[in-house]
């Protein structure tokens, strides 16, 4: 076989990496290279340097170190039984690509993942070598996200955490049973142990020693994970239940939901339908409600049938429609928690309402200036000069929001 | 007659602040002033306004200062005037800053947001090309960019913080930023220069084309975040129309493609992986017991009292492997101490084998059982549990390095040879174990205990004794 050029390798190994949804580059330690001795900065908020036509942001150089893999996970394009073309970057090639892309302002940093070659330790050691070279030889101060291999040696994880901003391990599927079925070589137990380990190390790094010295930082941008939606039969309640447990147990920064998307040379064991993008979107909305709006899992998944979220309307609206007794809410009186439950009000809108309310009473028009989505909110609120009247309890309220019914095609 | 205030195009924010402080302290109302940055036409009756000296302390809410520092960079010619008008109202109503319903404030906040967005897009979408030699000690890059607002000056510091170890310039139709030798300067109307071809740009386009997933086309999500007005200065954007056009066909192809047979190397790879992976626990002997008691490789640990490691001389010539700890073993934490263990001791004595001379252990180190009433009923471990526990068993074999291993019963045979079937047919024979050494198969003492018929019991016991004696003989003579 002819040797692949760098361009060909990049094509193969970025194609192989695109099924990882995470591209966040935010929330790490602030640093820059003002001293002239290094390259790069990180200012807290992430930057999306480009967007692909699939609507996903491109913030990091997201590549696999190699797509050779000894595992046979049926949903993965790189599984050992797939006929996809294989390639492998050298350490120097990844470092060069990262630095050259960064200097041209294409990226915020590197997201490095890998197929499992030889053994978990050997793979993880190579990934750590790349991060070390970037940080120590190139003095790179941009963002690094490393995918950790669950059963790699603790010393490697320790070093990875000191070099990288974020570590992640994918739980892949919503239940242990489906992991067993679709990814026979992976162990959900071991994945959880690895996440627990990262959490403990992060905790330890935050504590000062008795002399007041701080331990070296460990993965300051936290850890995240990804779960594939639609490859197995799990419903949304199961998926969100898993996420709640993960957020609670391991202090994850994010759980990414990735609609299972057809892959080239797919395994015959999986449904090759178009990815359930709307479902993915609703899961993210529900995830936000759970984390920032103080909703309980039961409240969100309890209002629809079969434990799945309503695809036609967003979960907050669905909850409001099922709990109309709590509405309308008076924007001039209601407390923060209740305002956050109004469909069409976000955290920012609520903060603005609370800020303005200290000075005067709010009119309907004021809400428009505050960024509220009144198309949704109007049925659920009372403001000066506005009352929804019978609207809140009208039978056809849902129909005002859901897309109109469509005649099925006969052909 | 209105006074005309002309602000410079570089350093606009500071100039506006100074002018506004002066006019405010002199009590000049907004109607008496016309503001511009000198690029628009001048009114016929305008006279250049002199900025009065600040004669008293001017206090404004901190939040207004931040707002003004951003809004001055907006492209709207009325921005200075709007800011001054709002500042004028703020004199006796500082709380106005919290009133998000005020139309004047809402407009300024909108403008602020537009500038911030423009700054953010500039940080994201500026694309440098290399100007000098890549081997130069200080490399040199340049970019051409067309911002919507006057965002170069307030954003340049971001680039200076990020790219401090190289020279760079961002040239725009408005104000350009030049960073050379660590010093940042601004310049107006710098001509647009042709930028040389850059090989890394080709790689970037390759990356952009391949990171795109054709199965999930969401063009609107892309264009709302990356408006088309930026595209012509972004090298990767040229590929977008083609990617969109080809996406449905590519997605259909993936769905329709028949599943293929796995490649030939798959089997080889998986075999090699199995052989390569660490087969057993590796570490100093002192750490073995601690590591073993922390074992969570299978769920059996949850119900057990003790993990039961093997015991015996560390250089024993014969290793005897049973199935798993039983009720008594679990309580005491020692192998072969229950009823089966007692039978084993008796048989061993009869066979002339001293218990102290052999290494005794089990294939599985935790007790597996179900509770019936108040009793714990032994359960045979599954293949998976045996597989997980081989991690420990093989570590013991690697350490003791016995000349022969005696497998008592099907579970031990499975753990040692990978096959637990037909033990009675295989017993008494030597096989090669997974660890590469000789393994003799025999039956488990509890098989003898469970057999009700006295004659059959005696016969099985004799077989066990015979195997034990044979294994001992081999171990002593080491003929194999």
| Residues A34 and A147 grouped into a single domain | yes
Categorize the per-residue pLDDT at B274 as very low, low, confident or very high, splitting at 50, 70 and 90.
low
pLDDT at B216 over 70: yes
pLDDT of residue A274: 73
Give domain status of residue A282, yes or no. no
> Are residues A261 and A319 both part of a single domain?
no
Residue A277 in any domain: the answer is no
**ipTM exceeds 0.85:** yes
Percent of chain B residues past pLDDT 90, beyond the cut: 62
Q: How confident is the model at residue B68 (pLDDT cuts 50, 70, 90)?
A: very high
Q: Is the CB of B178 inside 8 Å of chain A's CB atoms? A: no
Q: Is the pLDDT of residue A63 over 90?
A: yes
Residue A369 shares a structural domain with residue A257: no
pLDDT per residue as tens digits for the range A342-390 = 999 999 999 999 988 888 899 998 898 888 999 999 999 999 989 988 8
Q: Which residue of B has its CA nearest to A59?
A: B124
- Statement to judge: residues A350 and A260 lie in one domain: no
The answer to whether residues B136 and B99 belong to one domain is: no
Residue A54 maps to a domain: yes
- 96-125 in chain A: CB under 8 A from chain B: 97, 100-101, 103-106, 118-119
In a domain, A127, yes or no: yes
Q: Is B141 found in the same domain as B114?
A: no
Which of A86, A106, A124, A137 has the highest number of chain B CBs within 10 A, making it the mutation to test binding with B?
A106
In the 3-class helix/strand/coil scheme, how is chain B assigned residue by residue? CCEEEECCCCCHHHHHHHHHHHHHHHCCCHHHEEEECCCCCCCCCCEECCCCCCCCCCCCCHHHHHHHHHHCCCCCCCHHHHHHHHHHHHCCCHHHHHCCCCHHHHHHHHHHHHHHHHHHHHHHHCCCEECCCCCCCCCEEEEECCCCCCCHHHHHHHHHHHCCCCEEEEECCCEEEEEECCEEEEEECCCCCCCCCCHHHHHHHHHHHHHCCCCCCCHHHHHHHCCHHHHHHCHHHHHHHHHHHHHHHHHHHHHHCCCCCCCCHHHHHHHHHHHHCCCCCCCCHHHHHHHHHCCCCCHHHHCCCCCCCCECCCCCCEEEEECCCCHHHHHHCCCCCCHHHHHHHHHHHHHCCCHHHCEEEECCCCCCEEEECCEEEECCCCHHHHHHHHHHHHHHHHHHCCCEEEEEHHHHHHHHHCCCCCHHHHCCCEEECCCCCEEEEECCHHHHHHCCCHHHHHHHHHHHHHHHHHHHHHHHHCCC
- Residues in chain B with CB shorter than 8 Å from the CB of A265 are 257, 259-260
Structural domains counted in chain A = 2
Average pLDDT value over all residues in chain A:
89
* B161 close to A (CB below 8 A): yes
Contact by Cβ (8 Å): B102, B96: yes
Residue A272 in domain: no
Residue B412 included in any domain: yes
Binary contact (A193, B296; C-beta < 8 A): yes
Q: Give the model's pLDDT for residue B43.
A: 62
Residue A169 belongs to domain spanning: 6-208+215-265
CATH of the domain at B456: 3.40.470.10
Q: Does B260 touch chain A (CB under 8 A)?
A: yes
Are B300 and B233 in the same domain? no
pLDDT tens, position by position, A303-339: 887 889 998 899 999 999 999 999 999 999 999 999 9
User: Per the CB < 8 Å rule, is A55 touching B221?
Assistant: yes
Residue B206 is assigned to a structural domain of this protein: no
Read off the pLDDT band of A113 (50, 70, 90). Answer: very high
Tell whether A389 is covered by a domain.
yes
Interval A173-228: pLDDT, tens = 998 888 888 888 888 878 888 888 888 888 888 887 777 777 788 999 999 999 99
Tell me, yes or no, whether A325 and A226 share the same domain.
no
Tell me if chain A has a CB within 8 Å of the CB of B181: no
Do B239 and B297 belong to one domain? no
Q: Are residues B325 and B292 in the same domain?
A: yes
Mean pLDDT of chain B: 89
Q: CA nearest B169 in A: which residue?
A: A104
Q: What is the pLDDT of residue A264?
A: 79
**Same domain for A378 and A246?**
no
Is the Cβ pair B212, A53 closer than 8 Å?
Answer: yes
Are residue B330 and residue B236 in the same domain, yes or no? no
Q: State the nearest Cα–Cα gap between A362 and chain B, in angstroms.
A: 8
Q: What is the CATH number of the domain that holds A52?
A: 3.20.20.70
Residue B270 covered by a domain = no
In chain A, the percentage of residues whose pLDDT exceeds 70 is 99
Confidence grade of residue B283 (pLDDT, cut at 50, 70, 90): confident
- Per-residue confidence at B288, pLDDT binned at 50, 70, 90? confident
Percent share of chain A, pLDDT over 90: 50
Report the distance separating Cα A44 and Cα A29, nearest Å: 7
Establish if B63 touches chain A: CB-CB under 8 angstroms: no
Residues 93-112 of B with CB under 8 A from A: 95, 98-101, 103, 106
The total number of structural domains that make up chain B: 4
CB contact under 8 A, B269 and A362: no
Q: How far is A68 from chain B (nearest CA, A)?
A: 10
Q: What is the pLDDT of residues A77-109, one digit of tens each?
A: 898 888 889 999 999 999 999 999 999 999 999
Q: Which residues of A touch B106 (CB under 8 A)?
A: 369
Smallest CA–CA distance, residue B10 to chain A, in Å, is: 23
Residue B243 lies in a domain: yes
Residue of A nearest to B141 (CA): A104
Residue B268 lies in a domain: no
Residue B408 within a domain? yes
Least confident range of A245-249, B244-248, B299-303, B319-323: B299-303
Mark whether B339 and B447 lie in a shared domain.
yes
Examine the pLDDT at B475 and tell me if it is beyond 80.
yes
B117 touches chain A (CB under 8 A): no
A14 interaction partners in chain B (CB closer than 8 Å) = 206-207, 210-211
Residue B480, pLDDT above cutoff 60: no
**Is the pLDDT at B44 greater than 70, yes or no?**
no
Q: Are residues B444 and B321 in the same domain?
A: yes
Per-residue pLDDT at B46 = 67
Give me the residues of A, 240-259, that contact B with CB < 8 A: 259
Same-domain check for residues A113 and A241:
yes
pLDDT score of B479: 47
pLDDT computed for residue B476 by the predictor? 86
Q: Is residue B28 part of a domain?
A: yes
Residue B299 has pLDDT above 70, yes or no: yes
C-beta atoms of B213 and A274 within 8 A: no
Averaged pLDDT, B351-374:
88
Same domain, residue pair B323 and B458: yes
- In a domain? residue B456: yes
Beta bridge partners of B47: B3
Distance from CA of B187 to the nearest CA of A (A): 22
Query: Does residue A42 surpass a pLDDT of 60?
Result: yes
Rounded to two decimals, what is the model's pTM?
0.77
Using a CB–CB cutoff of 8 Å, tell me whether A205 touches chain B. Answer: no
A303 touches chain B (CB under 8 A): no
In a domain, A294, yes or no: no
Domain containing B291 equals 285-477
State whether A58 and B211 contact (CB < 8 Å): yes
pLDDT band at A411 (very low <50, low <70, confident <90, very high): low
Do B112 and B136 lie in one domain? The reply is no
Determine which of B84-88, B130-134, B149-153, B249-253 has the lowest per-residue pLDDT on average: B249-253
Together in a domain, A108 and A196: yes
Contact A105 B128 (CB under 8 A): yes
Residues B117, B161 within the same domain: no
Residues A231 and A344 placed together within one structural domain of the fold: no
Per-residue confidence band for B301, with pLDDT thresholds at 50, 70 and 90 = confident
Q: Does A237 map to a domain?
A: yes
For residue B141, which residues of chain A lie inside 8 Å, CB to CB?
A: 103-104
């Amino acid at each position: 076989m002819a040797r692949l050029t760098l361009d060909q390798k990049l094509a193969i190994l970025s194609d192989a990496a695109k099924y990882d949804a995470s591209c966040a580059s935010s929330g790490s330690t602030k640093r820059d290279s003002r001293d002239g001795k290094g390259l790069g900065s990180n200012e807290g908020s992430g930057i999306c340097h480009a967007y692909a036509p699939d609507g996903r942001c491109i913030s990091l150089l997201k590549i696999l170190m190699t797509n050779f893999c000894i595992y046979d996970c049926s949903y993965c394009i790189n599984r050992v039984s797939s006929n996809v073309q294989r390639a492998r970057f050298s350490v120097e090639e990844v470092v060069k690509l990262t630095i050259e892309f960064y200097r041209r302002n294409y990226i915020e940093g590197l997201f490095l993942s890998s197929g499992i070659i030889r053994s978990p330790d050997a793979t993880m050691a190579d990934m750590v070598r790349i991060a070390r070279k970037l940080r120590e030889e190139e003095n790179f101060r941009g963002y690094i996200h490393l995918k950790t291999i669950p059963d790699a040696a603790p010393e490697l994880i320790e070093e990875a955490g000191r070099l990288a901003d974020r570590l992640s391990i994918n739980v892949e599927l919503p239940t242990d049973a489906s992991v067993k079925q679709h990814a026979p070589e992976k162990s959900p137990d071991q994945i959880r142990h690895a996440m627990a380990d990262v959490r403990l190390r992060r905790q330890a790094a935050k504590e000062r020693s008795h002399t007041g010295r701080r331990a070296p930082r460990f993965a300051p941008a936290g850890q995240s994970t990804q779960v594939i939606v639609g490859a197995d039969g799990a419903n949304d309640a199961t998926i969100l239940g898993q996420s709640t447990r993960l957020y609670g147990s391991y202090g994850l920064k994010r759980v990414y939901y990735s609609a299972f998307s057809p892959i080239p040379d797919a395994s015959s064991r999986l449904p090759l339908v178009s990815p359930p993008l709307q479902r993915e979107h609703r899961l993210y909305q529900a995830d936000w409600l759970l984390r920032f709006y103080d909703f309980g899992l039961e409240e969100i998944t309890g209002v629809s049938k079969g434990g799945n979220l309503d695809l036609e309307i967003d979960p907050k609206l669905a909850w409001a429609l099922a709990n109309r007794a709590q509405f309308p809410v008076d924007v001039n009186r209601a407390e923060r928690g209740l305002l956050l439950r109004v469909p069409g009000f976000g955290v920012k809108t609520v903060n603005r309402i609370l800020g303005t309310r200290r000075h005067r009473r709010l009119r309907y028009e004021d809400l428009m200036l505050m960024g509220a989505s009144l198309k949704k909110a109007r049925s659920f609120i009372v403001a000066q000069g506005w009352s929804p009247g019978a609207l809140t309890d009208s039978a056809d309220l849902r129909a005002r929001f859901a897309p109109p019914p469509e005649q099925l095609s006969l052909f | 007659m209105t006074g005309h205030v002309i602000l410079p195009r570089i350093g606009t924010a500071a100039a506006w602040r100074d002018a506004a402080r002066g006019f405010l302290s002199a009590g000049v109302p907004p109607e008496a002033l016309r503001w511009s940055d000198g690029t628009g036409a001048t009114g016929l009756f305008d006279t250049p306004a002199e900025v009065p000296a600040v004669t008293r302390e001017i206090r404004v809410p901190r939040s207004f200062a931040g707002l003004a520092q951003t809004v001055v960079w907006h492209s709207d010619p009325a921005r200075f005037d709007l800011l001054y008008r709002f500042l004028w109202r703020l004199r006796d109503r500082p709380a106005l800053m919290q009133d998000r319903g005020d139309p004047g404030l809402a407009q300024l906040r909108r403008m602020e947001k537009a500038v911030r967005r423009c700054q953010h897009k500039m940080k994201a979408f500026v694309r440098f090309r290399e100007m000098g030699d890549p081997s130069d000690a200080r490399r040199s890059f340049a970019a051409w960019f067309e911002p919507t607002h006057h965002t170069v000056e307030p954003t340049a510091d971001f680039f200076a913080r990020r790219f401090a170890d190289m020279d760079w310039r961002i040239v725009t139709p408005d104000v350009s930023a030049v960073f050379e030798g660590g010093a940042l300067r601004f310049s107006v109307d710098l001509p647009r220069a042709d930028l040389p071809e850059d090989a890394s740009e080709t790689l970037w386009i390759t990356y952009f084309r391949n990171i795109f997933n054709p199965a999930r086309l969401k063009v609107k999500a892309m264009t709302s975040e990356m408006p088309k007005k930026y595209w012509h200065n972004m090298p990767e954007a040229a590929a977008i129309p083609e990617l969109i056009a080809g996406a449905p066909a590519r997605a259909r192809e993936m769905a329709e493609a028949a599943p293929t047979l796995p490649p030939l190397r798959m089997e080889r790879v998986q075999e090699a992986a199995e052989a390569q992976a660490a087969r057993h626990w590796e570490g100093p002997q002192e750490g073995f017991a601690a590591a073993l008691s922390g074992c969570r490789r299978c769920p059996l640990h949850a119900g057990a009292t003790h993990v039961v490691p093997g015991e015996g001389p560390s250089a024993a010539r014969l290793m005897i492997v049973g199935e798993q700890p039983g009720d008594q073993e679990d309580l005491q934490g020692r192998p072969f101490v229950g009823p089966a263990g007692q039978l084993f001791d008796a048989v061993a004595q009869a066979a002339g084998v001293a218990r102290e001379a052999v290494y005794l252990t089990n294939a599985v180190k935790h007790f597996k059982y179900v509770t019936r009433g108040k009793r714990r009923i032994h359960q045979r471990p599954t293949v998976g549990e045996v597989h997980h526990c081989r991690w420990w068993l093989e570590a013991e074999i690697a350490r003791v390095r016995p000349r022969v291993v005696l497998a008592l019963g099907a579970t031990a045979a499975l753990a040692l040879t990978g096959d637990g079937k037909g033990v009675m047919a295989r017993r008494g024979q030597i096989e090669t174990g997974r660890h590469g050494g000789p393994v003799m198969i025999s039956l488990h003492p509890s098989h003898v205990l469970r057999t009700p018929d006295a004659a059959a019991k005696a016969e099985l016991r004799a077989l066990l004794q015979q195997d034990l004696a044979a294994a001992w003989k081999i171990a002593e003579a080491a003929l194999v």
